[in-house]
Chain A
Amino acid sequence: MTGETDLTRLEDLMLNERGFVFDPNTGESYQVSGTGLLCLRALQRGASIDEVVAQLVTSHDVERITVRCDVDAFLWDLKQLGWL
């Protein structure tokens, strides 16, 4: 009974410019950083993890290995929330 819901949970998230995130599935709300917001929006558009990392390297002028570690940590958080 959970599979169908889980597949759409990331794209169902409601985001605004200030990083406010509402999960319509659970009714929970969250605040994410600007970088987190960029990640979420990219993932909602269907970007791959490599594409998300590349976008952050370009926009933040940070080494790729550092960005990759931070993105992996963020993705782990998203998995804990059932969004991935």
Chain B
Amino acid sequence: MFHWLEKNPFLFSVGVFLVIAFAGLVEILPNFAEASRPVVGLKPYTVLELAGKEVYKKDHCIACHSQLIRPFKAETDRYGQYSLSGEYAYDRPFLWGSKRTGPDLHRVGNYRTTDWHENHMWDPKSVVPQSIMPAYQHMFTNIADIDTAYAEALTVKTVFDTPYDTPNGVKLGTLDEAKAAALEEAKAIAADMKNQDVKDAVANGQIPEIVAIIAYLNRLK
């Protein structure tokens, strides 16, 4: 019956490959799809948080900080619940990192606050005396790029169907709406901060990078 197959070794090899590959995919893909579904209650990043994420990438925080808590007792004691893959569903790209010169940041929003980040970014040694982290004072003057962050959100909404503009979800809207929402969010954060220049900038409708990155770090829970 399959004699003809044995007479065509190349075709036979391709056939064997296809059968085995299909069996493998049937085993692997459902598991992948299941694990990468967003965890219950996960919301996409707001535009301000995305702008903060851009700052995180730009200043290369990932070089020293990871965002992945492994299921070891030593780590869960210090950082909290171990990470689940579904928590990164809206991270494009995820920022797991591979080196911890500083601590893990995946749940930093649970145990640090706006004013702590403000002190820490201005002068890390003022709160952690042995810290070797450099100061990031330029974040207090650089203005965050909200337009790019909006473009990013709009892209993932369009291309990957990230659930923006859903009922009870994160509202994206038009660029102007998004900018207004980001400014509102920034005002709430600036209210908890002490730096007068930052407060003034936000009052004038500008969002310094420090506000964006604090929004992003507070969101990491």
The yes or no verdict on A and B being binding partners is no
Residues of A within 8 A of B (CB): none
Using CB atoms and an 8 Å cutoff, list the residues of chain B in contact with chain A: none
